Structure 1
Amino acid sequence: MSFPWDALMHFGMGQLRLSSRDFWQLSLPEIRALSQSMRGGRKAPPRDVLNTLMRAFPDGGS
Structure 2
Amino acid sequence: MEATVNVTCYKSKVLKNGESPLMVRICKNGKKKYKSLGICTLGLQEEPTQAQVSKL
TM-score tier after normalising by the smaller chain length: under 0.3
From the CA coordinates, give the structure whose radius of gyration is larger. Answer: 1
TM-score in terms of structure 2 length: 0.20
Q: Larger RCO: Structure 1 or Structure 2 (Cα < 8 Å, ≥ 6 residues apart)?
A: 2
Between Structure 1 and Structure 2, the one with more helix by share is 1
Between Structure 1 and Structure 2, the one with more strand by share is 2
